[in-house]
Structure 1
Amino acid sequence: MGMGIDGLTSGLDTTAIINALMGAEAIPQTLMKKTVANDTYLLTALQALNTKFASLFTQAAALAKPDGLAMYQASSSSPAITVTAAAGARPIALDVNVTQLAQAHAVVTAPQTAWPTSPAVLTFVKTDGTKVEVNADSDSLDAIAFAVNKSDAGVSAVKVASGTDASGAALYRLQFTATETGAAGAFKVYQGSAAEVDAGTAPSLTAAPGAAVLRTGQDAQVTLWAGTAAEQTISSKSNTFTAISPGIDITVNQLTTTPAVVSVIRDTAQVTAAAKDLTANVNIILGSIFTQSTVSGGGAAGSAVTSGLFTSNSTTAAAKDRLFTAVVSPVNGKSLSTIGINSTKNGDLVFDEKVFAAAYAKEPALVESTLAAISQRVADAAKAVSDPRDGTLSQSVKGKQTVINDLNAQILKWDDRLAQRRGALQSIYTNLEVQLGKMQSQQNWLTSQIGSLDAGSSKK
């Protein structure tokens, strides 16, 4: 690329000329840049809309599942029992008496300054006869507690201060507690090895004077339908009874003298909220497409008409129609206005909570099946639009992104082309100035020669 000599000889503004020529040369690239900018705005809007459809699909598909609307409220007539309803729960009223709470087995040794043998050896015998031998590093009670706690005996050990002996030496006990509640966690503990236990030569720690069984491991127990021919006792190793009825867990925390009523009823408020939220999210999408498809301006003479991003966009128009139809079409021949979902002349939806709640209170199963059918249709419509692989809007987003990427690649190529063209123009005009300069020098020389000839002739 040559160096520009801007008007040095010719007096021309060569930089301005070159810039004007380059402006004309760059018109195709400028048009592509404008197209990329417009398409990028549209792409961003399409991506946002696609995200809304994908979220709607997730919400609607969840409600359309067999237990998607199994929303229940659990309660107990007594503070002795707490109730939790999960998936699979169904309405029920169950009479429950708490007759026994679960507790962990616990024993404490006699007070002592150190273990009688060194290093200490203990053996725990579980209710099923399993033996776990624990070997400590020394006769230290701390060492014994450490060894027990890291073993797989299922027992925790703690050293407890117990005063002093006659000589003033500090006394301590070891308390052993099962790590889990329930009868299966009960144990016996012996001083000695497992072999000595089998031989009957290992003394029981709880048989020593001052030792004691603090609590015997036991299961929690509840009685159902007490006082009837169907009376039944159920046990649990913890105070929580899992799936006492499908999807229903109860936790007991105190004994009862009279039966408590465990109830599970349909949660009208929660189901109503689910229907309202689904309708609202459908409205958000319908409103978004409508707003971005609206043509504005043109009201006053000479005023410009502005099209929305989705104006004349067949993909978004079809998506809007499909979603609206999915909601407002009758279910089993019945209008959705019977459950409080109404369409308006503006093409959106209105949800009447009172009508829905009243219909749900009267015929809950029918309303649930109707709402599930609507949810399935909405899920199908949203998936057809937003499915990452086959969705119409997803495909449109991919196509628009491909166009933008292709245009950006062409714009980059145009940068190189225009840079080369500018260099060529600068070289041409630089050479022009140089040639004009040479011609000007020749002209000046010829002029001086002619002047010299004229001067000589006049002297003669």
Structure 2
Amino acid sequence: MGISLDGLASGLDTTALISSVMQVEAIPQTLLKYKSQDLQSMVSALQGLNSKVAALATQATAAAKPGALDLNTATTSSDKVTATTTAAAKAGSIDFQVTKLAQTQVAVTPKVNAVTGWPYTTMTINSGGKDYTIQPLPSNLDDVVTKVNAAGAGVVATKVDVGGGDFRIQFTATKSGAAGAFTISDPGTTFTDVKTAQDAELVLWPTSPTAQTTIKSSTNVFADVLPGVTLTAKEVTAAPVTLTVARDDAAITKLASDLVSGANGIFSLVASKTAVTSTTNTSGTSTTAGIFASDSAVRSVNQSILSAASLPVGTPPRSPSEIGISITKTGAMEFDATKFGAALAADPAGTAAKVQEIAGRIATAATAASDKYDGTLTQKITGQQSEVRDLATRISDWDTRLASRKATLQRTYSGLEVALSNMKAQQSWLTAQLGGLSSGSTSA
């Protein structure tokens, strides 16, 4: 740290003087800092917009894919069976009856006294066509359980306290249905099956003796009974059940509504960051334009998405408003679910085709703006980030330049203070000398 010589000879506050000079000298750097802050704010705003546009591009691309609106839902006429669908489901119906539910085999040993323990030495489990021989230590129930569970025989053993100091060992298949069936043999004892291994059975066309067909499942779940439809049986059904697969109007309406909402999210964000706001205080009224107010690239992206969503669709071209998709006076989109539902009921294929045409156009416009390599917004962000880095380098250069200028001023003012101090010292010496001469002349 340098020595401060403020006012030692001149009485001036040289530190304050230097600070004032440096503030003037730093004006170019301050302007660069303001510019950098503005650019960083713009980059942040553009990144937020680009994220929304990219999300819309993904959403619209998915909606535009062939079959994206081929949405169906499945129902059954009984609460004892549930149905779920995948995108492969098609409209249709079929009758069936659940005649059996899947069971997991369970077997138990006779009672075994805790004091006398396990009275046998060898046990054989046959599972999946393979024998597994287990030789536990005599009189040790826990060892029986441990060795069965370690054998990998497709059976889990559990010691069960049945009271009075007695226990049974329960054996449970690790697989449900017939695939998990097992047998256990042990010299001198008999094992009791509590539950037998059993597949679930579902009979198709149960009222037709010549057509009825039985299908089985080890898990109570029957996949692809109809294409893309899975049935899960919860109980045996005494009467036939009807499975019905029909167009899912609610899901199709939601997809169209979500597409409009996604586009509106872009329009709303751009509008909020383009609006001019007025502020009134004691000094008067001032106006501030939104960060996107003068940005032609943002306006272009906004307009391209708006056009994609609102231009005529179909052959011959018709307004999207006919299917409930319209543009408002404020430049936003509006979705009329009632009108869309009526159009879907009257012309399902045509309405779906129009939604997909709109989705395809939105996907093209949004992708052109947000593509991670050459999107309009992406390139603008990249360019401005480069400019921010350049400004950071220039600001850093100014730090070096200003530090050098400040050091020069400090040396100059320090030198002036030293010079003035020396002059004052010489003045005092001369004054003293002159005083001595005057005093000598008077004495003579």
Q: Please report the TM-score for the alignment, with normalisation by the length of structure 2.
A: 0.90
Asked whether the equivalents of residues 278 and 286 of structure 2 are also in contact (C-alpha less than 8 Å), the reply is yes
Using the aligned pairs only, state the percent identity: 40
Structure 2 partner of 1:453: 437
User: Matches of 2:144 and 2:151 in 1, distance apart?
Assistant: 11
User: Matches of 1:6 and 1:159 in 2, distance apart?
Assistant: 94
Cα 1:287–1:213, aligned 2, differ >3 Å: closer, same or farther? Answer: closer
Structure 2 partner of 1:415: 399
Asked whether the equivalents of residues 2 and 430 of structure 1 are also in contact (C-alpha less than 8 Å), the reply is no
Question: What's the C-alpha RMSD, in Å, of the aligned pairs?
Answer: 2.6
Question: Within the alignment, does 1:50 sit opposite 2:45 as a pair?
Answer: no
Cα distance, 1:374 vs structure 2: 2.0
Question: Within the alignment, does 1:59 sit opposite 2:59 as a pair?
Answer: yes
Structure 1 partner of 2:291: 309
- Cα deviations across residues 401-421 of structure 1 (Å, max 9, x unaligned)? 222222223223322322221
Asked whether the equivalents of residues 3 and 427 of structure 1 are also in contact (C-alpha less than 8 Å), the reply is no
Question: Within the alignment, does 1:322 sit opposite 2:304 as a pair?
Answer: yes
Asked whether the equivalents of residues 3 and 426 of structure 1 are also in contact (C-alpha less than 8 Å), the reply is no
Question: Within the alignment, does 1:216 sit opposite 2:219 as a pair?
Answer: no
Q: Give the secondary-structure state (helix, strand or coil) at the position aligned to 1:354.
A: helix
Query: Which residues in structure 2 correspond to 1:64-103 (within 5 Å)?
Result: 64-103=64-103
Asked whether the equivalents of residues 67 and 88 of structure 1 are also in contact (C-alpha less than 8 Å), the reply is no
Question: Within the alignment, does 1:396 sit opposite 2:361 as a pair?
Answer: no
User: Matches of 1:352 and 1:265 in 2, distance apart?
Assistant: 23
Asked whether the equivalents of residues 119 and 138 of structure 2 are also in contact (C-alpha less than 8 Å), the reply is no
Cα distance, 1:40 vs structure 2: 1.8
User: Matches of 1:177 and 1:366 in 2, distance apart?
Assistant: 56
Name which of 265, 268, 286 aligns with 2:246: 265
Structure 2 partner of 1:368: 352
| One-letter amino acid of the structure 1 residue matched with residue 76 of structure 2 | S
Cα 1:447–1:186, aligned 2, differ >3 Å: closer, same or farther? Answer: same
User: Matches of 1:90 and 1:315 in 2, distance apart?
Assistant: 44
Structure 1 partner of 2:124: 123
Cα distance, 1:455 vs structure 2: 4.4
- Cα deviations across residues 331-351 of structure 1 (Å, max 9, x unaligned)? 222321121000123322111
My pick for the range that moved more, 333-342 or 52-61, is 52-61
Structure 1 partner of 2:417: 433
Q: Give the secondary-structure state (helix, strand or coil) at the position aligned to 2:66.
A: coil
User: Matches of 1:253 and 1:459 in 2, distance apart?
Assistant: 136
Structure 2 partner of 1:275: 256
Cα distance, 1:61 vs structure 2: 2.6
Asked whether the equivalents of residues 4 and 427 of structure 1 are also in contact (C-alpha less than 8 Å), the reply is no
User: Matches of 2:136 and 2:395 in 1, distance apart?
Assistant: 79
Cα 1:328–1:204, aligned 2, differ >3 Å: closer, same or farther? Answer: farther
User: Matches of 2:340 and 2:220 in 1, distance apart?
Assistant: 39
Cα distance, 1:304 vs structure 2: 4.3
Cα 1:409–1:134, aligned 2, differ >3 Å: closer, same or farther? Answer: farther
Structure 1 partner of 2:168: 173
Query: Which residues in structure 2 correspond to 1:10-49 (within 5 Å)?
Result: 10-49=10-49
Asked whether the equivalents of residues 2 and 427 of structure 1 are also in contact (C-alpha less than 8 Å), the reply is no
Cα 1:76–1:331, aligned 2, differ >3 Å: closer, same or farther? Answer: same
Gaps of 5+ in 2: none
Q: Give the secondary-structure state (helix, strand or coil) at the position aligned to 2:214.
A: strand
Q: Give the secondary-structure state (helix, strand or coil) at the position aligned to 1:40.
A: helix
Cα distance, 1:100 vs structure 2: 1.3
| One-letter amino acid of the structure 2 residue matched with residue 264 of structure 1 | V
Gaps of 5+ in 1: 165-169, 192-202
Name which of 179, 183, 188 aligns with 1:184: 179
Cα distance, 1:71 vs structure 2: 3.5
- How many residue pairs get matched? 436
Cα distance, 1:305 vs structure 2: 4.5
Cα distance, 1:35 vs structure 2: 0.7
| One-letter amino acid of the structure 2 residue matched with residue 172 of structure 1 | F
